[in-house]
Amino acid sequence: MQELQLRTGPYRTTFIGTEITRASTKDEWQNYGEILRRVDEAKQWAIGDWLVDGMKHFAEEHGANAKHAGTGLYEEAEEILGTTKGTLQNLKSISDQFEFSRRRENLSWAHHYEVASIKKTYRPETGKWKVSNEPDTDKMQEFLKKAEAENLSVRALRDVVAAHKQRQAEEIRLANEPEKYSVIYLDPPWAYDNSGFQMSAENQYHTMTIEELKALPVKQLAAEAAVMFMWATNPQLRDAIMLMEDYGFEYKTNFVWEKTNHTAGFYVFGQHELLLIGTKGSMLPSGEKFKSIILGENKVHSKKPEIVYEIIEKMYPGTKYIELFARGIPRDGWTGWGEEVEQ
């Protein structure tokens, strides 16, 4: 019989149990319990890594026939461990996807399992956008980093991943079967470089980098002649104009929302926000014109004045409206898109 020993403080664990070599303290007892929990956790990684290594031996035996190599591997592993093939396949899959240097010691195997199903999207040269079989390793690491920083439970991380997949599916749907809208209204969930602003936003909703915002299929939503209303915070003004241009709209002017309360700032106390207006093609207002100052309360984080909908509808009456990153139930006559939209 091969030797197994796990020794810490007064505890020595072997194949047949744990020997107490001296009186333990309460701290030592608690510490050893934590070690045993982590040993059980490490077992899942260990079996997965063992299977990855074992595949090399069966590949040598069966040559290029990967199917036969896999069958042989799992049959022998089942016999050795008494574990079902499905469980073994899961363990090997996670070890395959996370090389040793990309595993996070402070997170459980189950945390890694939750993000392992995240895939990239792609579009064949002829065909529609779809989810690929290629793991999105960057997004996986992003969510693991978030889980570690925010001490997310496995269940909470599962919800984050589910929201990402739902958003991904909606983006694919919009890209493949887009309706055309003459009015596009959006309040992008800006991700800030500055940690102070970033934490404030992250605590309220899922933020997106400028690269992620550019990747959205907004161009496919716009009619040949269209107008865009985009909210821009002052620190993100330059990125907002660049993003608008990337979506195919030319910046024209803006509204200024004068808030009743001010926010913190490094240079000034922020008491206003800009609603940028850009156009694609000829899109002068067919209805009313308004003064450029909007007055409104700012009691709820990131919530914009309701009067903006009315202003947009009166400027561009009788057309098709869509709100991106909408929350709650869409306004009558509007299409709402976003993970917080209620149907």
| Residue corresponding to tokens 């909908």 | 309
For every residue of 150-172, DSSP letters joined together read HT--HHHHHHHHHHHHHHHHHHH
Q: Which residues is 301 bridged to in the sheet?
A: none
Cα angle: 72, vertex 77, 81; to 5 degrees:
160
pTM: 0.56
Q: What is the pLDDT along the chain (343 residues), one digit of tens a residue?
A: 566 778 899 999 888 899 999 999 999 999 999 888 888 888 999 999 999 999 888 887 766 566 777 888 999 999 999 999 999 999 999 999 999 999 999 999 999 999 999 999 988 877 788 899 999 999 999 999 999 999 999 999 999 999 888 888 877 877 776 678 999 999 999 887 654 444 454 545 578 899 999 988 898 899 989 999 999 988 889 999 999 999 999 999 999 999 888 777 778 888 899 999 999 998 999 899 999 999 877 665 567 899 999 999 999 998 999 999 888 888 999 998 877 666 5
Closest CA to 295 of 264, 272, 317: 272
Domain residue ranges in the chain: 1-97, 101-177, 179-341
Cα–Cα dist 2/15, whole Å:
9
Q: What are phi and psi of 136, to 5 degrees?
A: -90, 85
Query: What is the fold of 179-341?
Result: Rossmann fold (3.40.50)
Instruction: State which amino acid sits at residue 215.
Output: A
Q: Which two tokens stand for residue 23?
A: 């009186």
Environment class of residue 324 by beta-carbon count within 10 Å: exposed (0-12), middle (13-18) or buried (19+)?
A: buried
Pairing of strands 250-263, 293-296: parallel
Contact call for residues 106 and 95 (beta carbons, < 8 A): no
